[in-house]
Amino acid sequence: MGTITRRDQGRFRSFPVEADDHFFTLCRFSTLASVPRNEYAVPFREAFMAPWPNQPCPHSNCGQQILDLLVEMVANADQARPEFRALVAQSSGGAITCPYCQGAVEYTEDSQSLVISTRSPLRYSRVKMELRARDYGIHKSPPDLAMTPEQSVAEEKLMPGALQAYTYAEDGPP
Ligand SMILES: [Zn+2]
């Protein structure tokens, strides 16, 4: 646990595949930024501060590699909360679900690793996730109009198996 430091993460991020993925994300972002959809519009600053932990989930029944915490998928109302700010800053004080097992995870004080959290975790917005999946599908060649959040996160975020039977924020407490 916690063997991957931020410096390692930076090195990993410079691998060609990761760079391409990141570039692709930036391109997609610039397209999406012009779409007049309130719920979808990610504040510019936060889009570029989104944590890419690239660490295994600390929950022992999971252990899946979390490449992206998908914090931009938290509902806009929840993004005003201090817990969200803590997550974006990669500091302790806010928990979010693991995209795979939905267990609560949060950063350690020193921002180095993800640990199990006892806090009630922030959850992704179904509306946002479905919009994102649809948008991703529409821009595929050929377009896939039936793209689900599970499929898009597997393809776009390289996290197959994430969001299976996920309890979204709109679904109420799990
Ligand atoms: Zn997990």
Averaged over successive runs of 10 residues, the pLDDT of the chain (174 residues) comes to 45 44 49 47 48 88 95 95 94 96 95 94 97 96 96 96 97 75
0.75 surpassed by pTM: no
> What spacing in Å lies between the alpha carbon of 63 and ligand 1's midpoint?
6
Using a CB cutoff of 5 Å, list residues around ligand 1, an ion: 57, 59, 62, 98, 100-101
Q: 34: which residues sit within 8 A by CB, 6+ positions away?
A: none
> What spacing in Å lies between the alpha carbon of 58 and ligand 1's midpoint?
7
Q: What's the pLDDT tens digit per position in 27-58?
A: 454 444 444 444 445 444 444 445 678 899 99
Torsion angle, alpha carbons of 4, 7, 8, 9, to 10: 80
- Across 112-128, b (16+ Cβ under 10 Å) vs e yields bbbbebeeebbbbbbbb
**Contact present, 115 and 58 (Cβ < 8 Å):** yes
Helix (H, G, I), strand (E, B) or coil at 84: helix
CA distance 50 to 73: 10
